[in-house]
Structure formats: structure tokens, C-alpha cells
Amino acid sequence: MHRYFLLLSAVAILVIFSAGCDKSPSEPDDIDTELRFKIAQMLIVGFRGTELADTNHIVADVTERHIGGVILYEYDSPSSSRPRNIQSPTQLSALVSALHALDTIPLFVAIDQEGGFISRLKESYGFPPSVSAKHLGDVNNADTTRYWAALCASTLDEMGINLNFAPVVDLNINPTSPAIGRWERSFSADPDIVTPNASIVVAEHNSKGILTAIKHFPGHGSSEDDTHWGMADVTDSWSDIELEPYSRLIAGGFTDMIMTAHISNTNLDPAYPATLSEAIIGGILRDSLGWEGVVVSDDMMMGAIEEFFGLEEALELAVNAGVDMIIFSNNSGNYISNIAPSAIAIIENLVEDGRIPRSRIEEAYARIAQLKGRL
């Protein structure tokens, strides 16, 4: 079993950072290295490359800026080409090992390995087979789900990947949804099927020391549009039953991550999509459902965000809404190699201007550090 990290508390992480990141004489006195570090820990960034080179921006993002995590893909959407990060088990294991070796601070190395159509670790690359969530929901047998979940978790563990953005707990309200149903990403339209199957997937991952992120809050399964390409309005199709898997999993002790959706629901928030909505994240997820753990955004480079909000506005809204970790996949639309330093600088300026309370950064960082302590 790969174990590349130190088990560090929030205090220990910051002590290690502070010991190695004293300001140089050339830096201005007003540089707040502690704030900048905590903001960087809130970022998960995608990059190109099947192996690391010193010129790759992700090396500086991790070693110098100390971003919180990276996300891996097999296909590069901006260039419509492959490979992106994944070619074979041997290659991927070496890449992930190199990523972990970049910093003494634990790094989330994340992937979307849902199974079926949404599989970054493909059989054609030499990885084990997988099945979709819909297949598991249709069978609805605990042993079957446990078998496939264990196979997935073991594979991720062998590669050194420690965070899987799965399972999907959206209800399959619209089986033809271009975001969920069409790709068999949902177990079922019935929360009595979704919840126990998702619980098994989470448990099998956790047994290997791998964290999960249930998604996409507050429910993407009724949509008729895909937030990758634009706004998806579920105002007329969404219902409270879509909260059931989250409510039950939280009540059952789930403590990993919850990923937001970029869907719009004017009944819940007349102005903003869920990722940017304090009413949905702070009001429903945290206050009503009692979620105290990490909230991670869906990719902030997707059309539902980029087409309607500027980067500064989106970051201000997301952080103030209660998002703790922000994904920049660099795999939707444009590839922006300096997205990490740009986002860090924007959030830092927003804090200094009083538009984001410093307490929100402290709160997010504390949750991230606590979760990393479980690795």
C-alpha cells in the first residue's frame, strides 16, 4: 500500500510550511505568507504531462505555492488529444509518486474514477475493468457493489491516488440528462437504492485510505442541460427528494467531501448557481443538513461559471458561499498555466479589501488540514 505522506495535524502542517518559507530580504514587508499558504491549500489544479519536468507549472504550484491538490485526466479536452496524465499503470504510479515527493505537506492527488463511461483508468491502458453506477443500481446487490468498489479502490491505492471524486449521488430523475443519466452516472432515481450503494463505495475507498467526494449538491439528476457547456436550470424539475442521499449519508457518518453542482435553481437562490450560493451551501447544506466537512467546487472552468461570471466575481462568491476547495481542471475550455498564482492573488486581494473575511480562509484551511490528517 502506497504511503507517501506524513500524518500531520493542522498545526504541524503550518509549522513545516513556516520553517521552510521565511520571507527573503527582497520580499516586501506586507507579504502575508501564512494567508497565501492557506489560500493555496484551497486549490486543486489540473496540468498536462505523463511525467514531471522542472518546467511544468505544476511543480512550482506544489513546491513553491503549496496548492492543496492536483487532478488527473486521461484526455486533454482543450487540445482534443491524449495522453494527458495517464498512459499505463507503471507510468501513472511513477507520476503520482513524483507528485507526492514534491512537498512535505500532504497533497490531494484526485481523479474522477466513477466507473463505466466516466473512467480515467481505462482497460485499454492496462487497468482493471469497471462498471457504471447505473449497472450497480440496477443489480442493487451489496456484494456486487462491494466487489466493484473494492477493485476500484485497490487500483487507486496501488497508483497512490488518495482522493476520488465519486460516487455520484444524484438521483436519475431525467434518464436522458446530458450530464448524468445519459452517461449512467447515477445509481437510481430512488434514494433507497442510491444511498446504500454509495455508502458501500465510500466504505471500500476509506478502507484503503482513499477519500471520496459525493456529488453534485444539491442534485444534478433532473437537469436537461450540461453545466460543462453552459447553465443548467433545474428550477422546474428539481425536488427536495434529491437532498435525501446527502441527508442520509451525513446522518450515517459520512465525513469526506461534498462537491457542489453549478446548476441554477431560482427557487433555492434567485441569483446564483449552487457553487456560488450562500443560500444553498450555507443555508441548506451546512445549516439544514448539518454538514461540517469540506465543500469542494465542481470545476470552476466549466461553461456554467466561465460564461456568466468573471474569475474574481466567481471566487468571491464561491468562497463566501462556503466553498473550501476550488477546482481548476485546466481541462474545460482554455488551458491556463498560471491559474494557481492568479487565483491565489485574487483571493488574497479580496481578503485584504475586506470582501472575503479572513475567517472564511481560516475556516476552510482548518477543514482541509483536518481531512488531510486522515490520509
CA distance 291 to 250: 7
Task: Please give the single-letter amino acid code of residue 187.
Answer: F
Mean pLDDT of 144-152: 98
Q: Are the C-beta atoms of residues 71 and 96 closer than 8 Å to each other? A: no
Phi, psi of 320 (to 5 degrees): -70, -25
3-state secondary structure of 86: coil
Q: pLDDT at position 333, please?
A: 81
Name the average pLDDT for the chain: 92
* 14-23, 115-124, 281-290: least confidently modelled range: 14-23
* 2-11, 294-303, 349-358: least confidently modelled range: 2-11
Q: pLDDT at position 232, please?
A: 83
Give the closest residue to 356 by CA, choosing from 368, 366, 367, 344.
Answer: 344
- pLDDT of 19 > 90? The answer is no
- pLDDT of 21 > 50? The answer is no
Q: Are the C-beta atoms of residues 61 and 48 closer than 8 Å to each other? A: no
Q: pLDDT at position 306, please?
A: 87
Mean pLDDT of 302-315: 92
Mean pLDDT of 155-160: 98
Mean pLDDT of 136-148: 98
Give the closest residue to 104 by CA, choosing from 153, 147, 159, 63.
Answer: 63
- Exposed / middle / buried, residue 82 (Cβ in 10 Å: 0-12, 13-18, 19+): middle
Mean pLDDT of 41-66: 97
Q: pLDDT at position 5, please?
A: 34
Question: Considering the chain, what percentage of its residues have pLDDT values greater than 70?
Answer: 90
Q: pLDDT at position 169, please?
A: 98
Q: Are the C-beta atoms of residues 216 and 261 closer than 8 Å to each other? A: yes
Question: Considering the chain, what percentage of its residues have pLDDT values greater than 90?
Answer: 86
Q: pLDDT at position 124, please?
A: 97
- pLDDT of 27 > 70? The answer is no
Q: pLDDT at position 227, please?
A: 60
Whole-model pTM: value is 0.92
CA distance 341 to 290: 33
Task: Please give the single-letter amino acid code of residue 248.
Answer: R
Cα–Cα distance list, 334 to 46, 74, 260 (Å): 12, 17, 22
> Highest mean pLDDT range out of 16-25, 210-219, 226-235?
210-219
Residues 110-133: pLDDT tens digits?
Answer: 999 999 999 999 999 999 999 999
The answer, yes or no, to whether the previous bond of 216 is cis (omega within 30 of 0) is yes
Query: What band does 228 get if pLDDT is binned at 50, 70 and 90?
Result: low
- pLDDT of 14 > 50? The answer is no
Phi, psi of 83 (to 5 degrees): -80, 160
Q: pLDDT at position 111, please?
A: 98
Which domains are seen in the chain, by residue range?
Answer: 35-372 (3.20.20.300)
CA distance 201 to 107: 22
